[in-house]
Structure 1
Amino acid sequence: MMKLGKGLSVLLVLLCSHGIAAEELPVWEAGVGVGALTMSHYMGADQSTDYGLAYPYMVYRSEYLRADRKGLRGKLFQRDDLQLSVSMNFSLPVDSDDNHTREGMPDLDPLIEFGPSLQYKMFQTNDHRHTVTLELPMRAALVIDGLDISHQGWVANPEVTYAGEFSNWRHAISAGPIFADHRYHEYYYEVDSEYETNERASYAAKAGYTGAKLSLSVRRQFGDMTVAGFVRYVNLNGAANEDSPLVKVNDYFAYGIAIHWRLAKSSRTIDLTSDF
């Protein structure tokens, strides 16, 4: 089943530009795009949802603030190959009526992760076209239920990213473990006694290892048109909550493709030699 609207922010993250090589790009761009996305309901779910939509998009770049493929980020500190910035991540909502494992349980509201990220550039070629970066983010998880925002624990996802360019295709490969505290894990994996059934035992979630993540993204620009795609995989083998009755499979997948057309851009440009 294709759903519209909920996948908008995912596709915006997928589409917008990322600086690998040193280059001058407009400070802002605006346009329209179309895309399709498939995501598992949550890590451990055996059901997924398809999204498809058309949407407007906006990219902003400055020395200290950027809104692009990597989300909304602010640079707090930079020295040589070490940098401290602010970054965000998110999870889409899940209606428990659409998930047989969670049937009768509360819905999963949208969850936004926000916090500092320390980045160390381990390697970079002289032309800036190939880089290897170690990133150490620590994010607070916030659940959004209408106008109500509540703190739902902490998440850490240290990862190593290789970014490069080949035949005008830009690509990035990232890998690393995910860790979270009890409050974060209970949101997805805990089963209170009131929701216990013959097929779903009560379960107390634990802090610790969430899974191992591997991501691949590719992108190519043809004038004012951009084509992009991504695949994200998380393996839950050995996870702290692998034995939760809400974990049905140990493989999480998300993948998508999108095309956008740039309709307007600023005359002023910015040098992306220093990416963050």
Structure 2
Amino acid sequence: MKRLVWVMAMVAAGAAGSVAAQQAQQPQPLWEAGVAAFAVSTPAYPGSSDRSARVLPLPFLIYRGEVLRSDQGGIGARLFKSERVEFDVGFSGALPAHSKDVAARAGMRDLNTLVEFGPRVKILLASPTATSRVRFELPLRAVMEIEGGVRRQGTTFEPKLSYELRGADPRWGYDVSVAAVFADRRLNRYFYEVAPVYATATRPAFQADAGLVLTRVGVSATYKFNEDVRLFGFVREESYRGAANADSPLMKRRSGASAGFGFTWTLGRSATLAKSAQ
């Protein structure tokens, strides 16, 4: 769902790993660590007319173990990898959206910190050139709410098709992706249901259903300024047309744009190289 801030943290780590280095199959250190900073602006939740903007510094750690991994793909365990198919289990998450800051949700419960955990299959469909590849991902995630404990809030399924490219200038790397997000009824209720107790004259009661949440097109880029400093950024457009809960009074827009940019500064890396290419 609205995982953007955590995704940016992973993009920060990914910028330090760089798409270009992956596609050139260059040997990579087993681990890298440093600091990153980024600014991001995104809808408060899918379909919100209010926005959330953050500027955050954070540390990053990349670890390229054969099983345990922390990189631009997330944090988790890679359980199987062949030339074209990879299977892993990983985490992602979202920072909260407080109802006092979102007009449509005034008086309702906050949207708290969410953590997602589950399996993902990645399939390499094609390598059109030596510096590009087309990949299809099928992640299935259980969503947990963190607030005075841990509560299950549903499940998401987010198939994604991506095209990754190293530019003519090898300092540049690009990624273009198309994705759709589906959620079960429990998670859609968390975002879009209006219980009778929260109904008002302008916010009628609404019962949410399982199904499509959004479709998304995104573009991201990284630039290797030098061996230790990399810049990164992204823009993406989400469409909520055809969403299962498009009629919810909390669905205020039919589309939403997000953007972010930042940098990473690697402060240390291992002399030991990872055993396999990314």
Output the TM-score relative to the length of structure 2.
0.90
Give 1:73 deviation, angstroms: 2.9
- Residue 217 of structure 2 is matched in structure 1 by 214
- Residue 3 of structure 1 is matched in structure 2 by none
Give 1:54 deviation, angstroms: 2.5
Give 1:213 deviation, angstroms: 1.4
Give 1:111 deviation, angstroms: 1.1
- Does 2:159 align with 1:158? yes
- Does 2:264 align with 1:260? yes
Say if 1:174 and 1:242 are closer, same or farther in 2 by CA, change over 3 A. Answer: same
- Residue 140 of structure 1 is matched in structure 2 by 142
Give 1:132 deviation, angstroms: 0.5
- Higher strand content, 1 or 2: 1
- Does 2:39 align with 1:36? yes
Counterparts of 1:53 and 1:118, CA distance in 2:
31
Q: After the TM superposition, which segments of 4 or more aligned residues of structure 1 sit over 4 Å from their partners? A: none
Say if 1:126 and 1:213 are closer, same or farther in 2 by CA, change over 3 A. Answer: closer
- Does 2:16 align with 1:24? no
Segments of 5+ residues of structure 2 without an aligned counterpart are none
What amino acid maps onto 2:147 in structure 1? D
Listed one character per residue, the Cα deviations across residues 227-274 of structure 1 (whole Å, up to 9, x for unaligned) are 00012322000110000000000112221111121111111112553x
- Residue 8 of structure 2 is matched in structure 1 by 11
Listed one character per residue, the Cα deviations across residues 128-149 of structure 1 (whole Å, up to 9, x for unaligned) are x211111111111111114x11
- How is 1:230-269 mapped onto 2 (pairs within 5 angstroms)? 230-269=234-273
- Does 2:187 align with 1:184? yes
- How is 1:159-174 mapped onto 2 (pairs within 5 angstroms)? 159-166=160-167, 167-168=169-170, 169-174=172-177
Partner of 2:107, secondary structure, is coil
Listed one character per residue, the Cα deviations across residues 140-194 of structure 1 (whole Å, up to 9, x for unaligned) are 1111114x11111111111111111002211111112211110010010000000
Greater shift, 101-110 or 77-86, is seen at 77-86
Listed one character per residue, the Cα deviations across residues 81-104 of structure 1 (whole Å, up to 9, x for unaligned) are 122111333222011001110000
Say if 1:209 and 1:9 are closer, same or farther in 2 by CA, change over 3 A. Answer: closer
Quick check: 2:4–2:42 contact (8 Å CA) kept in 1?
no
Say if 1:136 and 1:62 are closer, same or farther in 2 by CA, change over 3 A. Answer: same
Quick check: 1:44–1:246 contact (8 Å CA) kept in 2?
yes
Over aligned residue pairs, what C-alpha RMSD do you find?
1.8
Identity, in percent, stands at: 31
Quick check: 1:14–1:230 contact (8 Å CA) kept in 2?
no
Quick check: 1:7–1:52 contact (8 Å CA) kept in 2?
no
What amino acid maps onto 1:226 in structure 2? R
Quick check: 1:14–1:258 contact (8 Å CA) kept in 2?
no
Partner of 2:100, secondary structure, is helix
Segments of 5+ residues of structure 1 without an aligned counterpart are 1-5
Q: Which of these residues, 130, 133, 152, is aligned with residue 131 of structure 1?
A: 133
- Does 2:91 align with 1:88? yes
Say if 1:109 and 1:159 are closer, same or farther in 2 by CA, change over 3 A. Answer: same
What amino acid maps onto 2:194 in structure 1? V
Greater shift, 85-94 or 178-187, is seen at 85-94
Counterparts of 2:83 and 2:90, CA distance in 1:
20
Counterparts of 2:180 and 2:59, CA distance in 1:
33
Output the TM-score relative to the length of structure 1.
0.91
